[in-house]
Chains A and B, each alone.
Chain A
Amino acid sequence: MNCSKEHIEYLKKVKKKKIAIFSTQILLLAIFFVAWEIAASFKIIDPFITSQPSRIVKTMANLYNQGVLFYHIGITCVETIVGFISGTIIGIIISIILWGFDFLGKVFEPYLVVLNSLPKIALGPIIIVWIGAGPASIIVMALTISLIVTIMEVLNGFINVDEDKIKLAKTFGATKIQILTKVVLPASFPVMLNALKINVGLSWVGVIVGEFLVSKAGLGYLIVYGGQVFQLDLVMMSVLILAAAAAIMYQGVVFIQKKLGYDLHNN
């Protein structure tokens, strides 16, 4: 393909801007850590309460040598993943039932609004007493938080599917199940993926709070334990790892969303 001179200039300009933005991003990150390290070393800030990058690295190395670093990270990640995936799936199933039986949907509407308004974290102690301390109750906490939001988003998506597409299917004599599988579900796929994206974030909240309350393992546990015994190195390390893990998981869902969105809608 022949590009005119102006087009090559244009592409160069765009690329330059991209590189400038990316370099500034890396620079900011580097400056942040370097400044933190220097400020702590020169006692401008008190490393006892702020910690510093070098000590964080040391703590990470310690935990790694003890063989527990990936154990803690792993437990938290698994709890979160199981929580948000099951919350999304169960939420979709309940949404299908509430869509299918209009009467039920209308009956449960105000109850859903109340449950949605209630901060599910408040149910934490109840879940712990009923299920017992441990990963199971933490997963249930994440599930509960994801569940209600999923139902509201997905059910709303189902109801908002183009009425005329449904009428079209009916002109061929489609049954309710055929309308569900051929029209409503495919049309709502973007909404369901979006609910998944929201649930990732919410699940993390549920899991970390759960670990605060009752765990003996995981990043949330390390944060709360580190805080209690004033080992801020542990706390800062866990928070940084948590930030990285949450970002990666979120980007993973965005990636899936883009990939599937492309396949389904060919945009």
Chain B
Amino acid sequence: MQLYIVETIQLCMKYHSLNGETDVLDNINLKIKEGEFISIVGPSGCGKSTLLSIIAGLIKPVSGIVLIEGNEVCSTSLKVGYMLQRDYLFEWRTILQNVMLGLEIRHLVNQENKEYVLSLLKTYGLYDFRDKYPSQLSGGMRQRAALIRTLAVRPKILLLDEAFSALDYQTRLAVSDDIYSIIKNENKTAILVTHDIAESISMADRVAVLSKRPATIKSMYDIRLTCKKKSPLCSREAPEFKEYFNAIWKDLDIHIN
């Protein structure tokens, strides 16, 4: 039993182009326990998405290692599910075919998994739309379908890359509330990258603030809120919310000029 389900050790990343090289990440050390919900906030372009891609195994860091359940990551791990900013549902597939995509790619299409997918569709209100096409669904429904597609392969760790940013504000609140309960019910570990401070405080157990490029972890906040039930909508009403918000906003040190 590993102490940490996800661990990054002295992670560094550079981008090379004809214009020169850019230091993106510098000495990122993260330790995440199973079942934790971590949020990573930082100024735009500081490398948050790059960090997620490295944890997901899509790109290799320049130095440092990522451990998932104690094993070093060298390619995409079967234990990791990655939810991108947009749903990227395939227009030529029905909703059911879309959510089965991950299972298809991993050669895990069987009766049991198919039933699991159908039950997820039922639970999250998309069962009646399973034979419809993405163009017939609203933005919020599409994002829910994208989440089901990610959950279908039963990942232990969920990476959410600004997964709610492409939605309008009202849908965003509803969908993040939904997805939070799904993640907690299924007892997944989650890493949410976002630029929305309120979102990060309301959903996460801990919030890591990244500095400007080359990004390091400037500060880490343990989020303890008093609220009736821990949900993104209720957390925003907790008295401590404002303090965390102000502290993180100050940390981000964003200057408009």
Contact = CB atoms under 8 A, between A and B. Distances in A.
Interface of A: 162, 164-165, 167-174, 178, 182-183, 186-187, 189, 264-267
B92 A171 contact: no
B90 A173 contact: no
B86 A164 contact: yes
Contacts of A189: 92
A172 B88 contact: no
B153 interface: yes
Interface stretch (B38-46, B62-70, B102-110, B184-192): B102-110
B56 A173 contact: no
Contact of B88 (A162, A173, A178, A267): A162
Interface string B74-102: 01101011101010101111000000011
A182 B101 contact: yes
Interface of B: 56, 58, 75-76, 78, 80-82, 84, 86, 88, 90-93, 101-102, 104-106, 133, 135-136, 153
14 contacts: A162-B88, A164-B84, A165-B90, A167-B58, A169-B101, A173-B75, A173-B105, A173-B106, A174-B105, A182-B101, A183-B90, A186-B92, A186-B93, A187-B92
B53 to A, nearest CB: 9
Given A172-B101, A172-B105, A189-B92, 7 more contacts: A162-B88, A170-B76, A172-B106, A182-B105, A186-B93, A265-B133, A266-B135
| Chain B at the A interface: SS class | loop
Contacts of B106: 172-173
Contacts of B102: 172
- The interface residues of chain A, by DSSP majority, are classed as helix
B58 A171 contact: yes
A173 B57 CA distance: 9
Given A171-B76, A171-B82, A172-B153, A186 B90 contact: yes
B147 to A, nearest CB: 13
Contacts of A170: 58, 76
Nearest to A171: B82
B104 A182 contact: yes
A265 B105 contact: no
Contacts of A173: 75-76, 78, 105-106
B192 to A, nearest CB: 16
A40 to B, nearest CB: 54
Contact of B105 (A164, A178, A266): A178
B195 to A, nearest CB: 19
Contacts of A164: 84, 86, 88
A257 to B, nearest CB: 14
A189 B92 CA distance: 10
A187 B78 CA distance: 26
Contact of B56 (A171, A187, A264, A267): A171
Contacts of B81: 171
- Nearest first, the 7 A-B pairs at minimum CB distance are A171-B82, A173-B76, A172-B105, A266-B133, A172-B102, A264-B92, A168-B88
A178 B101 CA distance: 11
A262 B36 CA distance: 45
A151 to B, nearest CB: 23
A101 B93 CA distance: 27
A34 B39 CA distance: 80
A265 B153 CA distance: 26
A152 B75 CA distance: 33
Contact of B92 (A162, A167, A265): A265
Contacts of B84: 164, 167-168, 171
Contacts of A267: 135
A84 B135 CA distance: 33
Contacts of A183: 90
A139 B93 CA distance: 37
Contact of B91 (A168, A172, A182, A265): A265
B2 to A, nearest CB: 22
A169 B105 contact: yes
A30 to B, nearest CB: 44
Nearest to A261: B92
Nearest to A175: B105
B105 to A, nearest CB: 4
